[in-house]
Structure 1
Amino acid sequence: MRRIKKLLLVFSIILLAMPSLLVSAASESKSEEDTTQKKGEVSSKDEVVYGKLNAAGERKELYVVNTLDVEKAGEVVDHGTYTDLKNLTDLSPLEQKDGEVTVDAPEGKFYYQGNMEGQSLPWDVSITYLLDGEEIAPENLAGKDGHVEVKIATSANEKVDPVFFENYLLQISLSFNLDNYRNIEAPDGTLANAGKNKQVSFTVMPEKEEELVVEADVSDFELDGIDISAVPSSMPIESPDIDEMTGEMDTLTDAITEVNGGVADLEDGIAQLNDGAGELRDGSKEYKDGISALDASSAELVNGSGSLKQALEEMSASLSNSSADMGLGDLKQLEDGLSQMADGINQSADGLVTLKDNYAKAYNTLDEKMAAIPDYKISEEEFKELYGSGADPEVLDKLKETYTAARTAKGTYSAVKEGFEAVGGTLGQVSGTLSGMADNLEEMANQLGSSRENMDGADSFAQLQDGISEIASQYASFHSGLVEYTDGVNQLSSSYGELHNGISGLAEGLGETENGIGSLHDGTAELQDATSDLPDEMKKEVNEMMDEYDKSDFEPVSFVSSKNEKVNSVQFVLKTESIKQEEQEETEEPKEEAKGFWARLMDLFK
C-alpha cells in the first residue's frame, strides 16, 4: 500500500512538472526562430481612442485600440508610448522600447490595445449641472427633483496638435429616461425618441467652440453617461444652387441703378427749381418793397390830393364870389401842383410796369422749374420693397423725405398758381388806373393853364370861373377814386406780405431739399457702387463658407505618435461616468468554495 502511494506521488510530481518543461522547450524553440525572424509589412493603420471622463468632463482613463493591416507576416513596428499593452489578436508577446511597439504579426488584421497616462485630448470638455438655477456638484445630484440644466462646453486644447480640432466634428448625445424626465428642451440639439428614452444629440463643427444646453424637469435624478465621439469631417460639401437668389440680386441691383438715376434727375430738377425759386423770391422782394413804399406814400398822396381838392373847392367858391381882379398867381400855383402830382403818379405807374415785367419773368421761371419736378408716384409697397432690399435705411429715409417734400412743393404750387397768375393782372390794372389818374390831372392842369392865358375881361373871367368849378367837380370824383385806390394798395401790400413769406419759405425749403437730394444722390451712388457686383460677391462668400467646412482633402494623422505613417483613420470615443444612486449591497453568507481536481486527488492520500 505504501508503495502504491509513493508511485502516485511521483506520478503527480511528473504531471506538475510537465507544463514547465513544455514551456521551456517552446521558449528555446522560439529563441531559435527569433534569430531568423523576417520583417513584416503594414499597409495601413487605424486608431480608435477610447476615453473615460468623470461626470464633469475631466479625463480619467485613456486607451487606444490600434488596428494594423498586415500585408506581409513578420515582425512589425508601431510607434507609441503606453503604460500597458494588450494583444487582442493572439497570444504573441508585445515588446515596447523607446516609443516603439514590436510584435510578430500574422498576415491580416492585427489588433492590440495600449493604455496611455497623462495624454491630453484635443478638446477640453467641461460639464456643469444646475438644479433650480443653482450650480450643483454631479455627485450631489443623484435622486434630486426639480428643474435641471446640463451645460456642455467644448473648446480647443492648446497642448494638442490642432489638426484634430480643425478637422474633426464632435457628436454629443445624452439619453433621458421619460419615466423621470419631462419638458425636455435643447435649443441647439436634435431630439428623437428611442424606446422609453428621449435622445438629445448635438453636433459641433470643426474649429468651433460651443456651449450646449439641455434642460428638463426631473424627479429622482439619474443620468447615463454622456457619449462624445469625434470623427473627421471628410464629407465633400457641394455649393448650393444660388442662381435664383443671384437672379433676384441682379434685379435688385438694376432697381438700385434706376433709383440712383432717378435721384440724379431729381437732383437736377430740384437744383433748377431752387434757382427759379431764388429768382422769384428776389423779384417778389422787389415787388413787396415797391408796394410797401407805395402803400407808405399813399397817405401822403391822399392828404396832398385832399388839400388840392380843398384848394380847388375854395378857389371855385372864391371865384364865384370874386371879381376879375383876382390874382393869377394862385392859378399858376394850382396848375403847377396838378402837373407835379401827375408826374408823381406817372412815375408810380411806370414802376409798377417794371415790377410787372420782372415778376412775369420770375414767375415763368418758377413755373418751368415746378413743371420739371417728375410727376411719378412711389407707393408705400415700393418703399417697403426698397427697405427690404438691404439698402441703407438712413439713405432711404432721406429719399422718402425728399420725395415727400418735392411732392408737397409741387402740390402747394399747383394750389397757389392761380394766385401767382392773378398778381400780374393786378399789377397791370393798378398801373393802368394810375396812368389814367395822371392823364386826368395833366388835362386839368392844361385846361387851367389855357384858361389863365386866355383870360380877357369879364367874359374870360366868367370862363375861368366855369372851368375852375368844373375842375373842382371832376377832381372831387378823382379824389374819391384815389382814396379807393390807396385802400386797395394797402390791402394788396398786407396780403402780399403773406404771399412773399410763403415764396421765401418755399425758396428756403427748396434750398434744404436740394442739399438733401445731393446727400441722397451721394448715398444712392455709393449704394450702387457697393451693390453693382453683389451677385458675384454673394457667390464668392458662399464658396468661401463652403470651403471652410469642406474637409474632403484632410489627410489623417496619428494621435499616438507623429512617427506613424500610412494612417487610414483616427476616431475618438469618449463617455462620461453615469450619475446613479448608490445601491445597497445585500450581505450574503460565505459559501464553502468547491474543491478542485487536485484538492480532491490529495484528499485520497489523506
Structure 2
Amino acid sequence: MIRIKRTLLVFTAIVLVLPSFLVTAASNDEAEISYKDEVVYATLSATGEQQEIYVVNNFDIKEEGTVFDYGTYTSLKNLTDLSEMEQNNNVVQFSAPKGKFYYQGNMNEQPLPWDISLSYTLDGEKINPDELLGSEGHVEIQIETSANEQVNSVFHKNYLLQISLTLDPAIYSNIEAPDGTIANAGKNKQITFTVMPEKEGKFSVAANVVDFELKGIDISAVPSSMSIDSPDMDEMTGDIESLTDAIAEINNGVGDLEQGVSELNDGVLGLRNGSAQYKNGISELSGSSSELVHASKSIDEALVTMSNSLSKNAEQMDFSQLTELQEGLTQLAKGLNQTADGLDLLKENYATAYSALDKAITAIPDHEISEEQIKALYNIIETEDTANKKVVDQLIETYSAARTAKGTYSSVKEGFDAVDPTLTEVSGSIRKVGTNLTSMATELSSSLENMNVSESFTQLQEGLATLSANYKQFHSGLIDYTGGVGQLANSYHDLHAGTAELSGGTSELEDGVGELYNGTAKLKDSTSDLPEQMEEEIDRMIADFENNDFEPVSFVSSNNNEKINTVQFVIKTESIEKEEQATTEEQPVEEKGFWDRLFDLFR
C-alpha cells in the first residue's frame, strides 16, 4: 500500500513538474505579431556617464510561431519561459506561443538619444560626487540635457523628458528649484523637471544639507503626445475684432487728418504768397517815405518863402512868378493825388493779404493735445517703427509751431486791424490836400486874369500865410505816418518769416501725415483678418503639442523592426548613499529529505 502511495506521489509530482519542462513544439511557420513594445533601461553614473543599458522587448503574439527580431545585443534572457533563444548576425530568433512574450537584451555599447550630465557644488565650490557623501553646507546640483548626434534624432525631436529627484527633508532644507515643480511624495520632497521635444535642458536644485546623501535621479522619456482642448476663442476674438475695428477707425481718422492737413497746407501756402506780396508792397512804401517827406518839406519851405515874399510891398513883387506858382500847385496836387491812389492800391492789397492771413490763421484748429495723448500716440507705434515715429515727431513739432504762430497773430492782430483805417485816413487827407491845391491853382489862374492887384494881393497874402501854417501840421502828420509805415515794414519781416516757416512746417506735416496714413493703411490691411490668423496659429501650436502623427520606431533597430507600438526609456543615475552593513545571524541548516529536495527543484 505504501509503495502504491509513493508511486502515486511520484507520478503526481512528475505530472505537476513536466509542463514546466515541456516546450511547445516550435512551428516552422513565422508567428503573427500584433505589435511590439520596447522599454529601454539605462543606468548612469552620478555625473551622467552611461554605465549599463538593456532593453525589455514585449511582443503581443496573435498566432504562435517563430519570431525574428533585430538588435545588437551582447546577451539575451528569456523572461517568459525556458525556451532557448538564438542570435545570429544581429537577428534574434525564438519560438513564441500566443499571447504576451518578453525577453531582455543587454546592449552596453549602445548610446542613448540624449547626452546627460550632472555636476555638483558645495558652498559655491565644484566638487566630485563621491566627495559629497556626508558633507554639510549649501549644495547645488546642475542637470543638463542635449541631443546625442550619434543616435536617430527622432527620439530627441518627439520625446518628452521628465527628470525627478527625491529629497529627504531630514537632509535637505530651503530647497530651491527655479524651473521645477516641488511636490510632496510621502515624507519626502519630489522635484520634477520637464524637457520639451527638440529642446535642451538646463536645471538646478539648491538646498542646505546635513550628512549629504542622494538617491538615484529618475529620468523617463516618452513620446510627447497630449490631448489639448481648443480654448474658447469667442471672447478673445471679440476683443481682437474690437482692436481691428479701432485700427480701422484710426486709419479713417488719419485719412481725414491727411485731407485736413492738405487743405491747411494749401491755405497756408496762399497766405505765404499773399504775405510776400504785402511785404514787398509795404517795403516799397516804406522806401518811398523819405522821398515823400522830402517833397513835403520842399512844399512847406516854398509856402514859407512865398508867404514871406508876399509880406513885402506890392511894388517890389514880381507877379510873373504867380503863374509858376499856379503850375507848381497843379503839379503838387497831381503828385498828392497819385500818392493817394498808391495808398488806395496798397490798402486794397493789404485788405486781400490780411483777409487771406486771417482765414489761414483762423483755420488752424484750437485743439489742445495733452502730454498723455501724445504718449498714447507713441504707444500705438512699434518701438522699431522709426519711420512712423519720425512722422509723429514732425506732427508734434508742426503742432507746436502752429500754436505759436496763432498766438503771435492774436497778439499783433490789433495792429493789423489799425492799418486799414489808417491808410484810409491818410489817403483821404492827402487827396483832400491835393483837391485844395487844385482848387487853389484854378482860383489863382482865374484871379490872375481878372485880378485887381491892389485888392487881391492882401487876400493872396493872407491865404498863403494860412496855407503855410496849415501845411506845417500836415507835414508833421506825414512824418508820423511814414515813421509808422517804416515800423510796420520792419515788424512785418518777422511775421512773414514766421508765415514762411509755418508754410514749410505744414508742407512737412502733409508729407508726414501721408506717410502715417500709408502706415495705418498697411496696419489695417495686416490686422483685418487677425482673429482668423490667431485661431490658425493656436490650432498650429496645439497640433505641435498633440503630435498625433508621430509613428514610433524601434530603438534597437529602426530599419528592421516593424509594428512598433511604444518605445519608452527608463534611466536612473547612481545613488550617492552610505553602504548598509548587513548583519546576518547564522541559522542552523536543516537537512532536507528527498521530497523536499525534489520539490525545491520546482519552487
1:264 corresponds to:
255
Please report how far the alpha carbon of residue 499 of structure 1 lies from its aligned counterpart in structure 2 after TM superposition: 2.8
1:566 corresponds to:
563
Secondary structure of the residue that 1:454 maps to in structure 2?
A: helix
Q: For structure 1, which segment, 334-343 or 179-188, has the greater mean C-alpha deviation from structure 2 after superposition? A: 334-343
Secondary structure of the residue that 2:87 maps to in structure 1?
A: strand
Distance verdict in 2 for CA 1:412–1:290, change over 3 Å: closer
Q: Tell me whether 1:409 sits opposite 2:405 in the alignment.
A: no
Distance verdict in 2 for CA 1:344–1:121, change over 3 Å: farther
1:128 corresponds to:
119
Match of 1:140, as an amino acid? E
Superposed CA offset, 1:381-421 (max 9, x none): 76666666675665367447626744762685377358448
2:313 corresponds to:
322
Secondary structure of the residue that 2:576 maps to in structure 1?
A: coil
1:296 corresponds to:
287
Please report how far the alpha carbon of residue 496 of structure 1 lies from its aligned counterpart in structure 2 after TM superposition: 2.8
Secondary structure of the residue that 1:321 maps to in structure 2?
A: coil
Partner Cα separation in structure 2 for residue 276 and residue 300 of structure 1: 37
User: In the alignment, is the contact (CA less than 8 A) between 1:324 and 1:461 conserved in 2?
Assistant: no
Q: What is the TM-score of this pair, normalised by structure 1?
A: 0.83
Q: Tell me whether 1:193 sits opposite 2:184 in the alignment.
A: yes
1:578 corresponds to:
575
Q: Tell me whether 1:310 sits opposite 2:307 in the alignment.
A: no
1:510 corresponds to:
506
Q: Tell me whether 1:447 sits opposite 2:440 in the alignment.
A: yes
Q: 2:32 aligns with which of 27, 41, 44?
A: 41
Please report how far the alpha carbon of residue 310 of structure 1 lies from its aligned counterpart in structure 2 after TM superposition: 2.6
Distance verdict in 2 for CA 1:593–1:38, change over 3 Å: farther
1:169 corresponds to:
160
Q: Tell me whether 1:85 sits opposite 2:76 in the alignment.
A: yes
Partner Cα separation in structure 1 for residue 79 and residue 167 of structure 2: 34
Partner Cα separation in structure 1 for residue 317 and residue 133 of structure 2: 139
Match of 1:462, as an amino acid? T
Please report how far the alpha carbon of residue 315 of structure 1 lies from its aligned counterpart in structure 2 after TM superposition: 1.6
1:158 corresponds to:
149
Secondary structure of the residue that 1:67 maps to in structure 2?
A: strand
Q: Tell me whether 1:498 sits opposite 2:494 in the alignment.
A: yes
User: In the alignment, is the contact (CA less than 8 A) between 2:142 and 2:205 conserved in 1?
Assistant: yes
Query: What fraction of aligned residue pairs are identical, expressed as a percent?
Result: 49
Partner Cα separation in structure 2 for residue 390 and residue 141 of structure 1: 56
Match of 1:430, as an amino acid? L
Secondary structure of the residue that 1:229 maps to in structure 2?
A: strand
Distance verdict in 2 for CA 1:337–1:295, change over 3 Å: farther
Q: For structure 1, which segment, 121-130 or 383-392, has the greater mean C-alpha deviation from structure 2 after superposition? A: 383-392
Partner Cα separation in structure 1 for residue 246 and residue 390 of structure 2: 17
1:468 corresponds to:
464
Q: Tell me whether 1:484 sits opposite 2:480 in the alignment.
A: yes
1:177-188 alignment runs, 5 A limit: 177-188=168-179
Please report how far the alpha carbon of residue 62 of structure 1 lies from its aligned counterpart in structure 2 after TM superposition: 0.2
Partner Cα separation in structure 1 for residue 69 and residue 367 of structure 2: 81
User: In the alignment, is the contact (CA less than 8 A) between 2:336 and 2:434 conserved in 1?
Assistant: no
RMSD: 3.6
Q: 1:437 aligns with which of 425, 430, 436?
A: 430
Q: For structure 1, which segment, 82-91 or 371-380, has the greater mean C-alpha deviation from structure 2 after superposition? A: 371-380
Q: Tell me whether 1:538 sits opposite 2:534 in the alignment.
A: yes
User: In the alignment, is the contact (CA less than 8 A) between 1:281 and 1:500 conserved in 2?
Assistant: yes
Partner Cα separation in structure 1 for residue 258 and residue 544 of structure 2: 45
Match of 1:416, as an amino acid? Y
Partner Cα separation in structure 2 for residue 422 and residue 435 of structure 1: 20
Please report how far the alpha carbon of residue 171 of structure 1 lies from its aligned counterpart in structure 2 after TM superposition: 0.8
User: In the alignment, is the contact (CA less than 8 A) between 1:85 and 1:94 conserved in 2?
Assistant: yes
Distance verdict in 2 for CA 1:443–1:42, change over 3 Å: same
Match of 2:156, as an amino acid? F
Distance verdict in 2 for CA 1:347–1:248, change over 3 Å: farther
Distance verdict in 2 for CA 1:498–1:38, change over 3 Å: closer
User: In the alignment, is the contact (CA less than 8 A) between 2:405 and 2:498 conserved in 1?
Assistant: no
User: In the alignment, is the contact (CA less than 8 A) between 1:331 and 1:448 conserved in 2?
Assistant: no
Please report how far the alpha carbon of residue 232 of structure 1 lies from its aligned counterpart in structure 2 after TM superposition: 1.2
Please report how far the alpha carbon of residue 74 of structure 1 lies from its aligned counterpart in structure 2 after TM superposition: 4.2
1:9 corresponds to:
none
Partner Cα separation in structure 2 for residue 362 and residue 552 of structure 1: 78
Match of 1:63, as an amino acid? Y
2:213 corresponds to:
222
Partner Cα separation in structure 2 for residue 248 and residue 289 of structure 1: 60
Secondary structure of the residue that 2:562 maps to in structure 1?
A: coil
User: In the alignment, is the contact (CA less than 8 A) between 2:119 and 2:143 conserved in 1?
Assistant: yes
2:53 corresponds to:
62
Please report how far the alpha carbon of residue 551 of structure 1 lies from its aligned counterpart in structure 2 after TM superposition: 1.1
Distance verdict in 2 for CA 1:59–1:483, change over 3 Å: same
Partner Cα separation in structure 1 for residue 527 and residue 326 of structure 2: 83
Please report how far the alpha carbon of residue 436 of structure 1 lies from its aligned counterpart in structure 2 after TM superposition: 2.0
Superposed CA offset, 1:60-101 (max 9, x none): 100111112233344433322211112222322222222222
Match of 2:221, as an amino acid? A
Partner Cα separation in structure 2 for residue 344 and residue 543 of structure 1: 92
Partner Cα separation in structure 2 for residue 79 and residue 292 of structure 1: 106
Partner Cα separation in structure 1 for residue 323 and residue 172 of structure 2: 125
Q: Tell me whether 1:427 sits opposite 2:424 in the alignment.
A: no
Match of 1:181, as an amino acid? Y
Q: Where does the alignment leave 5 or more consecutive residues of structure 1 unmatched? A: 1-21, 599-606
User: In the alignment, is the contact (CA less than 8 A) between 2:59 and 2:101 conserved in 1?
Assistant: yes
User: In the alignment, is the contact (CA less than 8 A) between 2:27 and 2:66 conserved in 1?
Assistant: no
Partner Cα separation in structure 2 for residue 565 and residue 355 of structure 1: 104
Distance verdict in 2 for CA 1:447–1:377, change over 3 Å: closer
Q: 2:100 aligns with which of 96, 103, 109?
A: 109
Match of 1:546, as an amino acid? I
Secondary structure of the residue that 2:170 maps to in structure 1?
A: coil
Q: Tell me whether 1:255 sits opposite 2:251 in the alignment.
A: no
